[in-house]
Structure formats: C-alpha cells, structure tokens
Structure 1
Amino acid sequence: MQLGLYLLRRIATGIPLILGVTFISFLLMVYFGPDMTFELVGKNPTAEQIAQVRIQLGYDQPFLVRYWHYLVELATLDLGRSISTGESVRSLLAETVPVSMALTLPGFVLGNLLGIALALLAAWFRGGWVDRGIMAFSVIGMSISFLIIIIAFQVFFSSRYGINYFPVRGWDMRSLGSYLYYVTVPTLAIVFVSLGYNTRFYRAVFVEEIGRDHIRTARAFGAGPVAILGKYVLKNSLIPIVTRIMFSIPSIVIAGSLLIESYFGIPGVGKLAYDAVTTGDQPVLKAVVGATALLFVVVLILNDMLYRAVDPRVALK
C-alpha cells in the first residue's frame, strides 16, 4: 500500500518534468527547427501542393493543438513515422535502443567499477604518491576531448599504425565473439573518458567518509584497510554512488552514445538522433526527447527505491 502511494506521488511529481521538457523542446523544434515542407514537395511546387504538404505535416494547426497531439502520441506510444525513411518511429526506437544499451553498458559498468576501486585506493593513501598519481591520471582523462580519444584509440587498435586488429566501423551482435570484436574499442574509449570523472567524484565521497569518527575508531581497534574500505567506507557511501550511477543512465542510453555511434557507424539511438538532427526529422527528434524525459522520471522512482535498499533508514515518502 505504501509503495503504491509512493509510486503514484512520484508519477504525479514527474508529470511537470515531462511537460516542461517536452514543451520547451517542442517549442524549439517548431520555431527554430527546419521546415520540411520544401523537402517533400519537390521542385517547382504549386501553391496547392505546398498547402497540401503543410496539412499533411500538421503545420497548419495552432501550436498548442500540435503540442497536444505530441503528448497524445507519447502517451499512446503512437509516435508516427519518420519523415526521412517512412518507417514507424516506435519500430526505429525498438531497434536502436537495445543496440545503444549493448554498446554503452560494458563501458558504463567498467568505468564505474574501476572508478570506485581507484577512488578507494586514492582515498586510503590520501596525499601520497599513489593518490597524486591517480588524480593526475584522472585530470588527464578529463582534459582530453572525447573525439580525440576515439580517434587515438581507433588509430592504435584498428589501423596499421597500431595493432590493427579491431574493426574501424560496423556492428554485429549475432554471436558473443562478433559482439566483443566490435564493442571492444568503443568500450575502452568510454572507460577512458568516464574514469577520470568517476574517480574524482568517488574519491571526494570516500575521503569525507574516511574522516569520520567511526573510521578512526575502527583503525584504533586494529581493523585492516580491506575491512575498513569495504565494510564501512564503501557501504556508507552507497547513496551518493547510487545517485551518480542512476542519473547517468538517461544520458548514457540516449545522448552518451551519439558521438561513438556516429563515428563508428553503429546503428543505435544516438546515431538515429544525430541523423534526425541533420535531416530535420521532427517525429524522430520528438520521440527521442520524450523518451529521455520519461526515462528521467523512471530513474527518479528507481533511485529512491534503491536508497531504501542500500539504507533501511531511508523512508519512501
């Protein structure tokens, strides 16, 4: 009963977020996005042909009416058809979202696990050469452009100037071997980029926890570093860790894969969104924006539920 009421309250509070994000994005697309009329009418159109296409695209309707139709499409998952390809937008998302998740999940998981491990090590040896070395590596990773990292990794792993083993472009998930063959270089790039940000964030959390009285007491009673870091520091830092991981999910699934997919030619939702931006495919853009807003609301709900799981003192309200 309590969980059901909590979910209803969370959904109710998430509705303004969805309305705000979708309204602003729809406003920008309508007034600053490309007009697809002349992309569809061909050369030397007549006034009647132009008017007919504008009616087909819904351009003749008032803004609020068009926005209401957009919300109905999101609620019913009837997202229309892509202007560029004529395919169902819902089918396009169903095909591309799993690809993006399979592409980004290994790097996302490894980046966070390695970030936590390095941060624990740096926090334990705070101020020493281990800490300084890890932080220097983190700063270097944060300072280099993601595009430069992708190019460097591609040159090293996929060209005759390096080991020349992994493919330059493409995607195949028909078997585990082919999946690993294509996902390795993008995963390494994602890990390298995310590791610096993750390590610095987690180190700050762990350093604060290590300075607390109960940690000093555990040290005084002879507890070793493994017991202190695992049983006390990491366990008591789970709430900020969960928060960072959960709120990274929407950007990773929707936006984080955009550059990687575009550069490696991987048919995920990031490349779908990039192609929609370059071609002015508004049905696809509206669907991606709406899906991102919905995903944030889901993450908000799951995040609070995970708080309760990692710390029983947290109540669902």
Structure 2
Amino acid sequence: MLQQIVRRLATAVPSIIGVVIVTFLLTRVLPGDTAAYFAGPAATPQAIAEIRATLGLDQPLPVQFVAYVKDLVTGNLGTSLTTGQPVLNDIRARLPASAELTLLGLLISILIAVPLGILAAVRQGSWIDHLCRIVATAGVSLPVFFTGLLLVYVFYFKLGWAPAPLGRLDFFYSAPPDITGFYLIDTLAVGDLETFRAAFSQIWLPAVTLAIFSLAPIARMTRASMLAVLASDFVRTARASGLRPSKIVMGYAFRNALLPVITTLGMVFSFLLGANVLVEKVFAWPGIGSYAIEALITSDYAPVQGFVLAMAILYVLLNLVIDILYGLVDPRVRIEA
C-alpha cells in the first residue's frame, strides 16, 4: 500500500507542474489591467507604469514565470492586492469554511442518495424507483445557483425557518476558538452549544443546496451498480442457499457495488468544490470560492493562482484517498497493486 501511495504521488507531480504553467499563462491573458485597476480611474500613465514596475508586470513572461516558480519553491504564493495579506494566509483562513460546507453537503447527499439507490435497485419498478429517477433528473436539471436562490426565498423569506444568508455566523455571535477551522466541530469541542446552533442554522441551507446538486450522480450510480451486482451468479447462489435478503443486499451485493460508488463520490466532491463558488456568492459564504471570484474581478493574479494550485493539490489528495479506499473495500485491488 505504501508503494502504491508513493507511485500515485509521483505521477501527480507532472500534473501539478502543468497546472502551475497553465494557470500562470491564463491569468496573464485575462481582460483588464491590474495596475490600472489599483491605480484608480484618475491615475496618470506614469503612475500606472510605476505600479506595473513595482508588481513586476513590465517584465517579459519568462522572467515573471521564473520569479513565480522561485516564490512557490519557498512557499510564497504572493500577496493579494485586494486584501493586502499573503495569499497563503488568506487561503488558510478561508479554506476551512469551504471544506466544512462541501463535506456537510456531501454527507447529506450520501445519507439520502445511497439508501435511495439501494432501495430503487432492490425494488425495481416500484414508487421508490420512480422517486429515485425524479430526484436524479431534478438534481442534474436545476442549476445550483437557482436552487440556492429558491431555497433562500422559501425557507428565509416565506417561512422564516432559516436566518439571513450572511455568512457562517450571525452578527450577534463570535467565532469559536480556531481548533480545526470547522465551526460545527470547534463549538462542540469547547462546549458552546448556543454558537453551535447558530453556526448550524447558517450552514444547513447552503449545504442542502450542494446536496441537491450531488444527489443525482450518487443515486444513479448506486442504483446502476446494485442492479448489475444483484443480477450476478453469486447473488443468485446466495438466494438459493436461503440467506436473509438483508444479508444478501448489504453483505454481498452492496460491498461488491461499492467501488463505482466510491469513484462517483470522488468525482462529486470535485464537482462540489467548483459549485461552491456559486453557492458561496448566493449565501455570502466567506470561503475560498468567493475569494477567487473577487480576485478575478480585480485581475488580482496571485490569489487566482493560489486558488487553482490549492484545488489541484486537493484533487491529488482526493484521488489518493480514493485509491486507499479501493484497497480497503476490495483486497484484490491491493494484491494487483
């Protein structure tokens, strides 16, 4: 298993290098002039040229790229012109908010989609199967920003069940001690149940928005994988041997159908990281997605490059976790590796 992890990390290095090169080039062709934006509308050409020279934007692209790579090697992602803070500090402060929202949305979708897919496969053609198809169709048809706005309108404006979408906490509460960066975990760790309820009341609606978006692929893959396994010879043999239906479904069929589901979970998690950008804007969530959007609007190169690099590293780690889960679920994967 350790050799497999080392091989996966080694193969990820060229991908990260490619991401660094492509991101650097793409940020340089974005419309807008960073120096002109931060100089202001009344700035003279001389003032704009001075700012451009200070930022190093007057240098040829190869020179800028070499300087950027040197900074990366030393762990310096640059300084955000918008916040005035090092990009690494901004990402470190905002990433837990995005991770907490994404993981909670994924957890909600798993708790709903996996049992729904199993029941739809076991009771093929029943009302549960039709419900699974409706949920899958709605999940892939509704844009995530539309779902978020619709939920805000219904649960906040009409019913009043949710607070105003103003971030991770209401103005009346202070952030908990920074232990993990996840407000739900940190508030429970210090025993602050009131702040926990406030944090949960703010996060459940955007998490449900992400869960609706991710329900469809998980439910469809679970159903399709279960149908394929339930039609296999060893399941028919288990039924003929008189085993309990629950033992056959969960002990034999679901475990063998789990590998495609795990693959889908990895893909869905990566999709959610992208959908987070829209959800964070709708709910004023102070995550890394909204941070990248603000940097794009102002043509602030360093935060955009840091955001893409952080996402690339997360994808590499995610694929590594999936490979490890493969070995835990199916020992044959470890033997072949």
Whether the 8 Å contact between 2:221 and 2:260 is mirrored in structure 1 is: no
Distance across 1 between alignment mates of 2:129 and 2:45: 70
Once the two structures are superposed, residues 223-249 of structure 1 have per-residue CA deviations (whole angstroms, 9 ceiling, x without a partner) of: 333212210121112222222223433
For the pair 1:62 / 2:82, whether they are aligned, the reply is: no
Stretches of structure 2 that go unaligned for 5 or more consecutive residues are: 170-174, 177-194
Q: C-alpha displacement at 1:278, in angstroms? A: 1.5
For the pair 1:181 / 2:201, whether they are aligned, the reply is: yes
Distance across 1 between alignment mates of 2:69 and 2:7: 20
Matches within 5 A, 1:142-153: 142-153=140-151
Identical-residue share of aligned pairs (%):
30
Q: C-alpha displacement at 1:46, in angstroms? A: 4.3
State which of 217, 221, 230 in structure 1 corresponds to 2:250.
Answer: 230
Range with greater deviation from structure 2 (282-291 or 168-177): 168-177
Whether the 8 Å contact between 2:144 and 2:279 is mirrored in structure 1 is: no
Whether the 8 Å contact between 2:214 and 2:268 is mirrored in structure 1 is: no
Pair 13,65 (structure 1): closer, same or farther in 2 beyond 3 Å: farther
State which of 36, 39, 45 in structure 1 corresponds to 2:37.
Answer: 39
State which of 241, 262, 265 in structure 2 corresponds to 1:242.
Answer: 262
Pair 75,204 (structure 1): closer, same or farther in 2 beyond 3 Å: farther
Partner of 1:291: 310
Q: C-alpha displacement at 1:116, in angstroms? A: 0.8
TM-score by length of 2: 0.86
Stretches of structure 1 that go unaligned for 5 or more consecutive residues are: none
For the pair 1:82 / 2:80, whether they are aligned, the reply is: yes
Pair 75,244 (structure 1): closer, same or farther in 2 beyond 3 Å: farther
Give the counterpart letter for 1:169 in structure 2: P
> SS in structure 2 opposite 1:37?
helix
Matches within 5 A, 1:179-218: 179-218=199-238
Pair 116,67 (structure 1): closer, same or farther in 2 beyond 3 Å: same
Once the two structures are superposed, residues 202-257 of structure 1 have per-residue CA deviations (whole angstroms, 9 ceiling, x without a partner) of: 211111111111111112222333212210121112222222223433443x4231
For the pair 1:274 / 2:270, whether they are aligned, the reply is: no
Partner of 2:90: 92
Partner of 2:19: 21
Aligned pair count?
Answer: 311
Distance across 1 between alignment mates of 2:56 and 2:325: 43
Distance across 1 between alignment mates of 2:22 and 2:300: 17
Q: C-alpha displacement at 1:109, in angstroms? A: 0.8
Pair 69,251 (structure 1): closer, same or farther in 2 beyond 3 Å: farther
Pair 141,297 (structure 1): closer, same or farther in 2 beyond 3 Å: closer
Q: C-alpha displacement at 1:51, in angstroms? A: 3.2
Distance across 1 between alignment mates of 2:61 and 2:207: 42
Partner of 2:282: 263
> SS in structure 1 opposite 2:331?
coil
> SS in structure 2 opposite 1:313?
helix
For the pair 1:169 / 2:165, whether they are aligned, the reply is: yes
Whether the 8 Å contact between 1:41 and 1:50 is mirrored in structure 2 is: yes
For the pair 1:130 / 2:128, whether they are aligned, the reply is: yes
State which of 103, 106, 112 in structure 1 corresponds to 2:104.
Answer: 106
Give the counterpart letter for 2:111 in structure 1: L
Give the counterpart letter for 2:216 in structure 1: G
Pair 190,41 (structure 1): closer, same or farther in 2 beyond 3 Å: closer
Distance across 2 between alignment mates of 1:69 and 1:180: 43
Pair 300,288 (structure 1): closer, same or farther in 2 beyond 3 Å: same
Whether the 8 Å contact between 1:158 and 1:167 is mirrored in structure 2 is: yes
CA RMSD of aligned residues (A): 2.0
Pair 29,62 (structure 1): closer, same or farther in 2 beyond 3 Å: same
Distance across 2 between alignment mates of 1:189 and 1:210: 32
> SS in structure 2 opposite 1:50?
helix
Distance across 2 between alignment mates of 1:90 and 1:76: 12
Q: C-alpha displacement at 1:201, in angstroms? A: 1.8
Distance across 2 between alignment mates of 1:248 and 1:68: 35
Q: C-alpha displacement at 1:182, in angstroms? A: 0.5
Give the counterpart letter for 1:259 in structure 2: L
Partner of 2:184: none
Distance across 2 between alignment mates of 1:68 and 1:207: 53
Pair 10,62 (structure 1): closer, same or farther in 2 beyond 3 Å: farther
Give the counterpart letter for 1:269 in structure 2: I
